[in-house]
Structure 1
Amino acid sequence: MQQHTRTGTPHRAPVHPGPARRGARRLAGAAVAIAATVGLTLLGGPGAHAADNPYERGPAPTTSSIEALRGPYAVSETSVSSLAVTGFGGGTIYYPTSTGDGTFGAVAVSPGYTGTQSSIAWLGPRLASQGFVVFTIDTLTTLDQPDSRGRQLLAALDYLTERSSVRGRIDASRLGVMGHSMGGGGSLEAAKSRPSLQAAIPLTPWNLDKTWPEITTPTLIFGADGDTIAPVASHAEPFYTTLPSSLDRAYLELNNATHFTPNSSNTTIAKYSISWLKRFIDNDTRYEQFLCPLPRPSLTIDEYRGNCPHTS
């Protein structure tokens, strides 16, 4: 929350200026008014432009734009061989084709236990078309545990920003992680290990570690009401409730869903993931409207918890 400090001026006896001084004061007052108008514009008041936030990408969002299968950016992709990298199993990079808007934030996404990148591939073009570079990865083995997957997500981000063919398109200070199941548990591990991450989104996450008070990265956790592999009562819910209460955090429990719901194109997952990534990786407060006030239960949302307004 912003803090406002009240300042005052010392008391002085009234002075009655002559005509010349009154004229000078009127000119000074006009200058102050102009400066105030300019300042209001720069701070987001009337006449503010998207350039006021240098990380904003794309047009002003609407419900239909964030629920669409594709956003405003055309997307290209490139494959990364496991033989060309160390620390993870390669993957596919999806990125906005245009270079006219400058650099973009980036997100690495891990599959779950026994899964490959194909199980989370739908997120690549869907998120990238909204203005992100997205790296859906394969892991070193399909049986890797969450702590390993967390390290692999970070290795993938390092490759993306330091060695990849699209590194020039990425702002290395604006990075996030996502993951499904053990990859979701891995995204929590990654956020714990690297506090500089701007966003984490675990999807029906699994982890033997149930408490996450160390995390300082804004985190949105998706659970599923019908999950029998990582039941929300022993995974997603305690993960959420043990995050610091001061953290920008949210818990969305999908209605009529299973552990594997994140493996298929899903509008609810996409809508709120896009809003979370935009809000915290891009600092784009235009997306706050979709997160606060808290979404209400619906045909696709069983429950939503979180803190509003967001402070980051």
Structure 2
Amino acid sequence: MRSRVPQPGKGARGRARRAIGVVIAALAVACGLAGAGVATAQENPYERGPDPTEDSIEAIRGPFSVAEQNVSSLTPGFGGGTIYYPTDTSEGTFGAVAVAPGYTASESSMSWYGPRIASQGFVVFTIDTNTRYDQPGQRGDQLLAALDYLVEDSPLAVRSRIDPDRLGVMGHSMGGGGALEASADRPSLRASIPLTPWNLDKTWSEVRVPTFIIGAENDSIASVRTHAEPFYESLPATLDKAYLELNAATHFAPNTSNTTIAKYSISWLKRFIDSDTRYEQFLCPAPSGLAIEEYRETCPYTG
């Protein structure tokens, strides 16, 4: 039987190597976790602007400077309008949103959305309709035509800033009904915001676009009981959706600058057009306050 002769210092060196190995492993884990944090922060290439706060989404203007481009009423497919777009090109392309007015109204009734939303990092197109008497289906078609114009035919300074895969629609009254129509017709849209919407069609189970419906408690033209609420409830239960009812507001609340409409619309567009989960904090859990009569949602969102 051969005896094992201890070698001086071997046990100490072994313990030292094991200790160093533990330290190296710990450092590797720590670096890995830090790297994972960096990777997580960089997973979404569509984040635009600084981390949001309540103040930033309530502000009249966001962090981006905005330029304007007028579009002729002779443009095929819709009645012309105004494009608002960020002047910054350092952060890449932006999502785009087309906005339609209500029955008998003009683009000017929705003009406040242009600079307010664009300054948060979107291209926004407030449009006129072909006639002031166009119905929701026609307004839906015109919203889609406006998005196609932005992506394909708008001036280079505009279309070079747009990501054609990140598009959304908004609209007031029959324009809001048009936003529902556009969502049903083009499921590739990333977000839809009908504002005090009006439509004779009350069921929208075919919609697959994340939809945020804003109604008004004292709306006597498109009452929430016969329009906004049944629209919301008819959307699929599995859809990312929300319903906000403005306290003591009328049908025309969306036609003037409104911080409640702006802050939650911006949050919705950021969350779904930009997949920016930094904004989910403003939508989930359901917000409340003096300006909100009721809020419904399907949190947590998955889109």
Cα distance in 2 between the residues matched to 1:192 and 1:79: 28
Cα distance in 2 between the residues matched to 1:281 and 1:263: 23
Other-structure match for 1:73 = 64
- With the length of structure 2 as denominator, give the TM-score of the two structures: 0.90
Other-structure match for 2:170 = 178
Q: CA deviation at 1:241?
A: 0.3
- Segments of 5+ residues of structure 2 without an aligned counterpart are 1-13
Q: CA deviation at 1:31?
A: 8.4
1:33 partner letter: V
- With the length of structure 1 as denominator, give the TM-score of the two structures: 0.87
Cα distance in 1 between the residues matched to 2:24 and 2:182: 54
Q: 2:153 aligns with which of 158, 163, 166?
A: 163
Cα distance in 2 between the residues matched to 1:164 and 1:194: 20
Q: Deviations over 1:278-309 (max 9, x none)?
A: 0101111111110011012x321100001111
Q: 2:37 aligns with which of 27, 36, 41?
A: 41
Cα distance in 2 between the residues matched to 1:276 and 1:127: 11
Other-structure match for 2:135 = 145
The structure having more radius of gyration, on CA atoms, is 2
Whether 1:273 aligns to 2:269 is no
Q: CA deviation at 1:100?
A: 1.3
Q: 2:87 aligns with which of 88, 97, 102?
A: 97
Secondary structure of the equivalent of 2:124? strand
Give identity over the alignment, percent.
Answer: 67
Other-structure match for 1:301 = 292
Other-structure match for 1:254 = 246
Secondary structure of the equivalent of 1:105? strand
1:58 partner letter: G
Cα distance in 1 between the residues matched to 2:214 and 2:225: 13
Other-structure match for 1:119 = 109
Secondary structure of the equivalent of 1:241? helix
Other-structure match for 1:192 = 184
**The 10-residue stretch of structure 1 (103-112 or 24-33) with the greater mean CA deviation from structure 2:** 24-33
- Would the alpha carbon gap of residues 24 and 300 (structure 1) be closer, same or farther in structure 2, given more than 3 Å must change? closer
- Segments of 5+ residues of structure 1 without an aligned counterpart are 1-18
Q: CA deviation at 1:38?
A: 5.2
Secondary structure of the equivalent of 1:231? coil
Secondary structure of the equivalent of 2:160? helix
In the TM superposition, 1:211-250 aligns within 5 A as 211-250=203-242
Whether 1:60 aligns to 2:60 is no
1:204 partner letter: T
Displacement over 3 Å in runs of 4+: 21-32
Q: CA deviation at 1:177?
A: 0.2
Q: CA deviation at 1:43?
A: 4.5
Q: CA deviation at 1:42?
A: 4.0
Q: CA deviation at 1:34?
A: 6.1
- Would the alpha carbon gap of residues 55 and 293 (structure 1) be closer, same or farther in structure 2, given more than 3 Å must change? same
Cα distance in 2 between the residues matched to 1:99 and 1:164: 17
Q: CA deviation at 1:33?
A: 2.4
Count of residues paired in the alignment: 288
Q: CA deviation at 1:97?
A: 1.1
Secondary structure of the equivalent of 2:218? coil
Other-structure match for 1:3 = none
Cα distance in 2 between the residues matched to 1:110 and 1:29: 58
CA RMSD across the alignment: 2.0
Q: CA deviation at 1:35?
A: 6.6
Cα distance in 2 between the residues matched to 1:99 and 1:158: 21
